[in-house]
Chains A and B, each alone.
Chain A
Amino acid sequence: AYRTDEGQPWVLPVVKKVEQMIANDNSLNHEYLPILGLPEFRANASRIALGDDSPAIKEKRVGSVQSLGGTGALRIGAEFLRRWYNGNNNTATPVYVSAPSWENHNSVFMDAGFKDIRTYHYWDAAKRGLDLQGLLNDMEQAPECSIFILHACAHNPTGTDPTPEQWKQIAAVMKRRSLFPFFDSAYQGFASGSLDKDAWAVRYFVSEGFELFCAQSFSKNFGLYNERVGNLTVVGKDADNVQRVLSQMEKIVRTTWSNPPSQGARIVATTLSSPQLFDEWKGNVKTMADRVLLMRSELRSRLEALGTPGTWNHITEQIGMFSFTGLNPKQVEYMVKEKHIYLMASGRINMCGLTTKNLDYVAKSIHEAVTKIQ
């Protein structure tokens, strides 16, 4: 979760404003939302992902399912794919998850019934970057119709994203081999500070004519973590296909949570449908993204100034909340035990935990860990 420079959670100012508006609106009540969610939320959420000028939206071949966070969107998508993709109830369809990935990806698809969950090469520990060749090889070798979970931006946990050119190569292979793209978009806007930039990959795939799913989370970019605001965007060949898909997703939703929670969706819908509030929100998002970018550059410059062995450009080349520092498990143990700095055994740090007050300490501690422990 995001933290301010004081190390505190941050409720976005625009969210506070909109919550007050909702509280003052006596015409509102707590009635059930439709099964697929609040219409104004669904349309706006998909529009954010695909862009105002998206041809898919114009051609009415986009569907949306309001979901309980990004996880809920992934689960509804996974349940639908298991029932209807690549045949009927084909639990043998391979599902590819990046190595490494958010660990819950595996569980979501497993619990949805898929029996063959594999990894695709992603992180190159030696060069501390994307193993593009390994990734493309895995796609060439994957059985046709395999499902690939792609991180739309700010890859979790490595912070390493393909460049636009690399995305183009990925898309070309996927198209040729009939692989299904399931995007996980949990950080749109939060990664670079620009909604459009962070949605580039998803939009590129749409422009290349793919049918795809995109699980969106508004937990981070709206700071609405505990309200569980998410959206599953479905892009299909035409309106008729999308309509049938949504009718089946409705059945899945009905036995999972019946209908989604209204509070968070209302906040997002109100914000996105008002030009003024929308601008305010974009400003709030940029505030968060900029602070993280600042912490990245400050940490890197300190490490380089200290002469910490190794190269540290990956700290600023990586993007989003997390960074794969490259620290090995022993070095991590040193950080935790001796310096009381908590990071994952994988060497992943949460950049949001850095503040102007602790940058020096963290940099010095990394320096010690790297020089003392091999």
Chain B
Amino acid sequence: SSWWSHVEMGPPDPILGVTEAYKRDTNSKKMNLGVGAYRDDNGKPYVLNCVRKAEAMIASKKMDKEYLPIGGLADFTRASAELALGENSEAFKSGRYVTVQGISGTGSLRIGANFLQRFFKASRDVYLPKPSWGNHTPIFRDAGMQLQAYRYYDPKTCSLDFSGAMDDISKIPEKSIILLHACAHNPTGVDPRQEQWKELAATVKKRNLLVYFDMAYQGFASGDINRDAWAVRYFIEQGINIVLSQSFAKNMGLYGERAGAFTVICSDADEAKRVESQLKILIRPMYSNPPVNGARIASMILNTPDLRKEWLTEVKGMADRIISMRTQLVSNLKKEGSSRNWQHITDQIGMFCFTGLKPEQVERLIKEFSVYMTKDGRISVAGVTSGNVGYLAHAIHQVTK
């Protein structure tokens, strides 16, 4: 007999399941719109030029492979903080922050979640937008927190339910934790406008909530890194000491290298040092110290003026391609003769789009047209190319007319 007889089979990952089915499909016209990774206009993974250059520079330096400090590569964490906060940020310049390297976005979120579980005694409750990235809930749960929700997406308009959000948030018990997507909300692509962010900031301040920003798409959403970080920076300027998780998976295409960072804005540099010491105590029994490769590449890019400039151009290029695919999809739908309002496709921002398609329609898309997406109607616009956008529009029209 086995120790594991009672261990249940874990449910298949909903997003991976999409890719599995896609791989099995033999239809030459098939499209994988579940993929959360950028693809170029040929549908291929894209390794940024600035990444290749950084890799060559790193190789030429012939560095050793000694362990990084527990908190990660200092040049990387400092540059990550500066990227998020802005070089003119008072919080950054005064040093009243701590940034530790994390295992991309997930690892950074988890460090933060564990830190809050251990040190944020006021509440166990983390409020997520409805809907949120599927992995947020299990991350916080495994860290020992409880999940609550606030209204966010309005399925009737395929846009932000701002009054619903404000209503819910204004009723959140004081000193609870609220998670906000900094830009390019996943999975809806629906972001608040700047005026709406200002109201949100005022409300969370009034309710004395701890704000946890998840920024996985800085630069990737609008094409402008400063614009995409606007909400994060505004909140801090309003005196809200946020915590922040960053990922470089998408904006630098460093997916498998796991480059990310977790930041805590503190009252002062002394508090930052104490917080840092506790973060290290959390990290050490998890994986001791972080992987160097992605952090070195990101650091080289951020800290080398020429490479940084090139990166900004390439990020804008990726964002622009996505925006152009959104535009083409809408115009193709019109050409197909669709009379539905598809404006949300171009209003939404970032890699994902909540099409508004119902599960039955999604099923038809998969079965009849080999167009794969998650059941909630979310598509990854990154999987759309100028070569297949017409087919996609045709398929969507067929199931919605």
A: residues with CB less than 8 A from B are 1, 9, 11, 15, 19-20, 23, 29-33, 35, 67-69, 71-72, 75, 84-86, 88, 104, 107-108, 110-112, 180, 211, 219, 223-228, 236-238, 241-245, 247-248, 250-252, 254-264
Contact = CB atoms under 8 A, between A and B. Distances in A.
Given A30-B51, A30-B256, A33-B256, A228 B13 contact: no
A18 B8 CA distance: 40
Given A68-B288, A219-B67, 20 more contacts: A29-B45, A30-B47, A31-B37, A72-B286, A72-B288, A75-B287, A86-B3, A180-B3, A224-B65, A226-B289, A241-B2, A241-B7, A244-B8, A248-B10, A255-B110, A257-B287, A258-B107, A259-B256, A261-B103, A264-B291
Given A9-B64, A19-B59, A226-B67, A211 B285 contact: no
Q: Chain B contact residues (Cβ within 8 angstroms of A): what range?
A: 35 or more
A223 B8 CA distance: 38
B7 A245 contact: yes
Contact of B258 (A108, A251, A261): A261
10 contacts: A68-B103, A72-B288, A219-B67, A226-B67, A236-B2, A254-B13, A255-B138, A257-B110, A261-B258, A263-B257
B65 A225 contact: yes
A238 B2 CA distance: 8
B119 interface: no
A6 to B, nearest CB: 13
B285 A261 contact: no
B68 interface: yes
A75 B65 contact: no
A30 B291 contact: no
Interface in B263-316: 281-282, 284-294
Contacts of A86: 3
A211 B4 CA distance: 9
B7 A1 contact: no
A236 B4 contact: yes
B135 A258 contact: yes
Nearest to A32: B255
A241 B3 CA distance: 9
B291 A226 contact: yes
Given A29-B47, A75-B286, A84-B7, A225 B67 contact: yes
Contact of A75 (B2, B254, B255, B285): B285
A58 to B, nearest CB: 18
For the complex of A and B, the 5 pairs showing the least CB-CB separation, nearest first, are: A68-B287, A247-B10, A107-B285, A262-B256, A258-B106
Contacts of A85: 3
